[in-house]
Amino acid sequence: MSRRRHSDDSDAGQPHKRRRTSEPSEIEERLESLICRVGEKSNSSLESNLEGLAGVLEADLPNYKSKILRILCTVARLLPEKLTVYTTLVGLLNARNYNFGGEFVEAMIRQLKECLKVNMYNEAVHLVRFLSDLVNCHVIAAPSMVAMFENFVSVTQEEDVPQVRCDWYMFAFLSSLPWVGKELYEKKDAEMDRLLSQTESYLKRRQKIHVPMLQVWTADKPHPQEEYLDCLWSQIQKLKKDRWQERHILRPYLAFDSILCEALQHNLPPFTPPPHTEDSVYPMPRVIFRMFDYTDDPEGPVMPGSHSVERFVIEENLHCIIKSHWKERKTCAAQLLSYPGNNKIPLNYHIVEVIFAELFQLPSPPHIEVMYTTLLIELCKLQPGSLPQVLAQATEMLYMRLDTMNTTCVDRFINWFSHHLSNFQFRWSWEDWSDCLTQDLEKPKPKFVREVLEKCMRLSYHQRIIDIVPASFSVLSPANPVCIYKYGDESNRSLPGYTVALCLTIAIKNKASNDEIFNILKDVPNPNQDDDDDEGFTFNPLKIEVFVQTLLHLAAKSFSHSFSALAKFHEVFKTLAESDEGKLHVLRVVYEVWKNHPQMIAVLVDKMIRTQIVDCAAVANWIFSSELAHDFTRFYIWEILHSTIRKMNKHVLKIHKELEETKARLARQHKRRDSDDDDDDDDRSSDREDGPLEEQIERLQEKVESAQSEQKNLFLVIFQRFIMLLTEHLVRCETGGIDVFTPWYKSCIERLQQIFLQHHQIIQQYMVTLENLLFTAELDHHILAVFQQFCALQA
């Protein structure tokens, strides 16, 4: 709806618009509103609303046919959770106006082709499903729908195409069957049997190397984490065994059967799937997340089984609702809770399961993580008597299964749970989790509790955390985030550099300049060399130590103080950290000073990258250094690494964008010149005009290349270090005859997977280098498997 602005100087035209009531854009808004709102809570029945709306639209067809067509096509694509409402509407319109029905079907096919061309595969599935439900509304003839599905399934016979392409066409076919399987089987059982048998053989022969990488849990109990096509196939097989009886989907068209069966049907034009191109990007495979079954809510309605088609339909619809309304948390929560069938299914359990399915989805959640936290809070507000209990039950279950949960998913669990608790005064029955206190601190459960408490502290303060947990949990409580200054005590006066540190402290407190600092540091001996350079500023770890320790200590009060310090003495930092060893040592000292305060380390590293005191490769090398081995499995380390990679990626994109924009400016300049139609085509003057822009483009081109090279190098460094670390462990275990699969190993190998998954689009560019240089056949098969699983994702 266009928001009416209060009359502004800039909007002198508004008053006129308000007086006229039949502006085309207002009509379209009204039509859109009518169509979008049908099916929502109303005093009249859905059937009478649909009938009324069909009458209104039929009357508007002579004047607004194309608008109505466009709106209906859009709701088909973007409101799949209301699929059957709109197919019924189209059915009623088709019964009243056969031509309109035909034009709608044609428009839908055009839209489907467009979607496939621009890689909008998720929306294309909704269109296919819509078309198939139109068979139930007597708009499309069943045999022509079967023919379309035959073309879909025959994609599996194509040669030299990615498996994910065949997967999509198979998914589009199978996922429509809950809606239309019965009707198609009744009309064309032989053809359907043939299609189903082709499906079965495709599913048997397709490779599933990618599955372990996408599973939230590595264990199959209590619920197997099935590959999405396998799960759907089991559901369809069960549906077929039940003679295609499907009772969950709301089908408003049943009430209109007498009208609809009088309607003439249209045949779908023969549909050839557009061929595979280099630009085609198909959806990644998925694993179906399940955490509940009927035993989890013994008193409520029975939860449909994992291989029931009801389960599939409910999950699809709930996911669609979130996709439609994720920006509007109150609406989203209300829509989820008003999903029909409330008293026949344990809706709260389905909602919680679907939300966690998205939150834990690998490689990434469909939406920003914080949305799910806030959505769950809204749901708790709307259902305070029931939802919090389901959420608590879910949390307990997730905790119980931490041992086999993928490390990336544990990260998200930690972030969600700590943020959630911070909205509820950190109230939780910690004693229920005392079992983790007797375990090795590196095991998943105590590790989880430690990380949660650390995150809770970041959202509050240290004493608060001490107060909220039982005394027995003190072993898991976070350290008091205080600064460690090695030159602080008189007792340290024998340390080399102590006197310089004192000098520096006084100087900085007296607002010394960078030059004065350089002067003071000049006298610091270099433990690495016998004779200094004339310049005096080669890598001197002691200089770095004294300066960084002292400065960070003086600026310890807050983030802002520390950032100001970095800014004020930027010159000193840049000089001391000029070499790679210098950069590494700066990071080491930052860690030594702030190892109790991981959050401070993270923000300092971020600032130092952004102000180019250190570079991304230095951070990567620092993370894999032996000094950090003790903290290697802590969450904050990986937050820092992934944040570093993201900064690198954003940097490359930014320069690339600048380059494209400058090229566009040059092109516009040329165009302007050409269109001026100058007969005096003085080449030299045109070149002069182009000069500065062309120079800029050349410079930017170099910048892009250098940034891309830095980016590739960063990933290579990371992969290299992982391989070294993991190989070391594997060799040690082999020679020592001990089990490879320690908690450290599980964490490390999953962190490697996480790099691949979180940055898969960038890494795809490096496949050849990775294959030839790093992930070669000589590599231990444990490590190689990760690479192979990654390759399988878009194969």
Residues that bind other proteins (CB under 8 A): 1, 3, 8-10, 29, 32-33, 36-37, 70-71, 73-75, 77-79, 107, 110-111, 114-115, 118-123, 281, 324-325, 327-329, 331, 368-371, 373-374, 377, 415, 419, 422-423, 425, 455, 458-461, 558-560, 599-600, 603, 606, 643, 647
Min dist CB 102 to other proteins, Å, is 17
**Nearest distance from residue 621's CB to other proteins, in Å?**
22
Residue with smaller CB distance to other proteins, 461 or 741: 461
**Min CB(602)–other proteins separation in Å:** 9
Torsion angle, CA of 479/480/485/486, rounded to 10 degrees?
Answer: -40
Cα–Cα dist 246/206, whole Å: 28
Closest separation in Å from C-beta 795 to other proteins? 18
Amino acid at 404: T
Q: Which is nearer to other proteins, 194 or 458 (CB)?
A: 458
Nearer to other proteins, 1 or 777 (CB): 1
Q: Whole-angstrom Cα distance, residue 211 to residue 229? A: 11
What's the min distance (Å) between Cβ of 661 and other proteins?
A: 17
Nearer to other proteins, 368 or 667 (CB): 368
Query: Residue 623 and residue 780: Cα distance in Å, rounded?
Result: 23
Amino acid of residue 579: S
Report the Cα 637 to chain-centroid distance in Å: 20
Nearer to other proteins, 122 or 538 (CB): 122
Least spacing, CB of residue 70 vs other proteins, in Å: 6
Residues in contact with 564: Cβ distance below 8 Å, sequence separation at least 6, in sequence order: 555
| Nearer Cβ to other proteins (621/643) | 643
**Tokens 């299609």 identify what position?**
195
Q: What is the nearest approach in angstroms of other proteins to the Cβ of residue 146?
A: 26
What's the min distance (Å) between Cβ of 353 and other proteins?
Answer: 21
Nearest approach in angstroms of CB 215 to other proteins is 21
Comparison of 8 and 299: residue with beta carbon closer to other proteins: 8
Main-chain dihedrals φ then ψ at residue 36, nearest 5 degrees? -65, -35
757: left (phi over 0), alpha (psi -120 to 50) or beta: alpha
CB of 83 to other proteins, least distance (A): 15
User: Min. distance of Cβ 560 from other proteins in angstroms?
Assistant: 6
Residue 426 CB, nearest approach to other proteins (Å)? 9
- Looking at beta carbons only, is 203 or 321 nearer to other proteins? 321
What is the smallest separation between the CB atom of 413 and other proteins, expressed in angstroms? Answer: 15
Cis peptide before 252 (omega within 30 of 0): no
- 26 vs 442, which CB is nearer to other proteins? 26
- Provide the 3-class DSSP secondary structure of residue 293: coil
Instruction: Look up residue 681 and give its two tokens.
Output: 């085509």
Tell me: cis bond preceding 363? Omega within 30 of 0 counts.
Answer: yes
Cβ proximity to other proteins, 127 vs 192, nearer residue:
127
Q: Which of residues 646 and 672 has its CB atom nearest to other proteins in the complex?
A: 646
Give the whole-angstrom CA distance, residue 239 versus residue 235: 6
Give the residue with the Cβ less far from other proteins, 8 or 677.
8
Sign, CA dihedral 664-665-666-667, equals: positive
Would you state the structure tokens that stand for residue 95, as one six-digit string?
Answer: 């019964």
Is the Cα torsion angle 467, 468, 473, 476 positive or negative in sign? negative
With CA atoms as reference, report the closest residue to 601 among 574, 576, 570, 622. Answer: 622
- Residue keyed to tokens 């520096």: 504
Nearer of residues 113 and 703 to other proteins, judged by Cβ = 113
For residue 266, report the phi and psi dihedrals to the nearest 5 degrees.
-110, 150
CA pair distance 338, 303, nearest whole angstrom: 17
DSSP-derived secondary structure letter, 436: G
Nearest of 285, 286, 297, 293 to residue 221 by alpha carbon: 293
Nearest-approach distance from CB 743 to other proteins, in angstroms: 27
Nearest distance in Å: CB 481, other proteins: 8
Cα distance between the two ends of the chain:
43
Handedness of CA 495, 501, 502, 505 (dihedral sign): negative
Taking alpha carbons only, the member of 77, 72, 39 closest to residue 323 is 77
Contact 553, 600 (CB under 8 A): no
Hey, is 576 helix, strand or coil? helix
What is the 8-class DSSP label of residue 405?
A: B
Q: DSSP assignment of 200-255, as one string?
A: HHHHHHS--TTHHHH-SBS--SSS---BHHHHHHHHHHHHHHTTT---SS--GGGG
**Under 8 Å between Cβ of 789 and 210:** yes
Query: What is the Cβ-side half-sphere exposure of residue 327, based on CA atoms within 13 angstroms?
Result: 1
Q: Rounded to 5 degrees, what are φ and ψ at 615? A: -115, 170
Q: Which is nearer to other proteins, 416 or 787 (CB)?
A: 416
Q: How far is the CB of 783 from other proteins (least distance, A)?
A: 29
Q: Which is nearer to other proteins, 9 or 683 (CB)?
A: 9
Nearer to other proteins, 199 or 644 (CB): 644
CB of 6 to other proteins, least distance (A): 9
Phi, psi angle pair for 755, to nearest 5°: -60, -50
* Of 410 and 501, CB closest to other proteins: 410
CA 441 – CA 165 distance, rounded (Å) = 45
Q: Enter the tokens of residue 239.
A: 């549906």
Give least dist CB 120 to other proteins, A. Answer: 5
DSSP codes of every residue in 120-178: -HHHHHHHHHHHHHHHHTTSB-HHHHHHHHHHHHGGGG-SS--HHHHHHHHHHHHTTHH
CB nearer other proteins, residue 46 or residue 120: 120
